[in-house]
Structure 1
Amino acid sequence: MNEYTGIADYYDLLMTSGYYNHEKIAKQIADIVSPEQSIIEIGVGTGLLLEKLLELEPNYKLTGMDHTAAMLEIAQKRLGDRAKLFEADILSMSISDRFDVAISNGGLGAFVDSGNELDFYTHLTDDESNIKALQNIANCLNKGGMFIINIQGVHDNYDKPLAEGIVYSQDIVESTTKPDCIEKTFYFKKGDRILATQQLIYRIFQGEAIAALFNKAGFKLSGKDKSGQFFIASKM
């Protein structure tokens, strides 16, 4: 599983600089999920999406999980006691609570719109791990519960200026060691100095392999929501 240990502060700077439009994403989730439904975010990061959901509806019952303690420390400061947060590895996660909705805003993975079709990009590189992770998500949902997965654009190389002269850069290449994967290396730089760097590996599922993966884990794919921002799977 890709980790973000050691870069949490830079990650938060990137996310608060508009890498995702969390306010827009939260509004679209609010059109799908009522305040009476309980939500868990898989890969809560520094808590920005849950914060925006609470700004829209303070009565949301929110839980966030992440496997990086430094991310959760920032999320805890941001959210206080308005959401329940816990540290867990998606491959070994086992909790007694059950939820109506799970969200992945890139936490486990995301659907990527290539223009012709939607591919599923995940942080886990082998089939067995992806099935196990999805099963663990299904296990924490009520029957018929929704798994809402963000739809993103194609991963490209680019630079993004941030505050205090810091620049975020990302480079994308096909993996030469793992089939059906890409490698994403990103840097936080200031002048000629690299402040932090990380490499992520994404597995790509395409076509019928996506439905087969989700079905093995106990999900049925329902398709895009009306906004086109999310792909929704339902627990069978």
Structure 2
Amino acid sequence: MQTRDMNEPFLQRQHKHEHDPYAHAAHFERPRFESYSDTTLQVLRLIMVLLIVAIYVASFFMQPFYVHYVYITYWAMHLSLISLILSFASGQDKHNLVMREWSLVTTEIALTLTIVAAIFYWAIVRDEMYQNYDWRPLLMVFFNFLLSDINFLKRDIGMIILFGVGYVVFNFLVSKLSGVPIYPFITWYNVKSFVSAIVFILVLGGIYMVLVFLSAMLPRLERGYEADRLNI
């Protein structure tokens, strides 16, 4: 019988079963703490989904259409919405391991990106250009992470870095093809722009690793949570 290496990255795995590390790390169907029920958790998620949908719709009336697809802050909002919807769906269908895996992966990316987007915005963007920033997606994704019985996995650092590289390439192509840089301080005509891109990717990876170890420190409701921590 053919066996698989359990350290195999998520993107390379084709078969899902109960011994998969993601099956132990992604229990969106139950709360992290005993002070509230799984029903309460689902109600809170539904409220957060409705709130972020309202924010999402309102943003189209307050900002030009194109900004929703070029700025990193809006990428973070899109992923926040996706992660919350998948988390709610996983809470309804706990036996769907594929859904649980994607819920965890999107939550990992969304929380990391919303934190980096907040740092990026308040440290640089607000001093250089006008752009509204909403803290609520960050807070909602963080609360979903805090309240759900999940662990972030160290093995997914590659996907986080890949996502960062993807946005940098997207930023470069859009800036070059349109002739107008997405951010005025990243023109792609000087060394500073490339250094900024590298720093962005490194910060993305660094923040994710902090979240990995934070999730390992938080309690788990399930009996075998110690075994889950060994899989990070």
TM-score, length basis structure 1: 0.29
More helix by share: 2
Q: Rg bigger for which structure?
A: 2
TM-score, length basis structure 2: 0.29
- RCO (CA 8 Å, sep 6+): is it higher in 1 or 2? 2
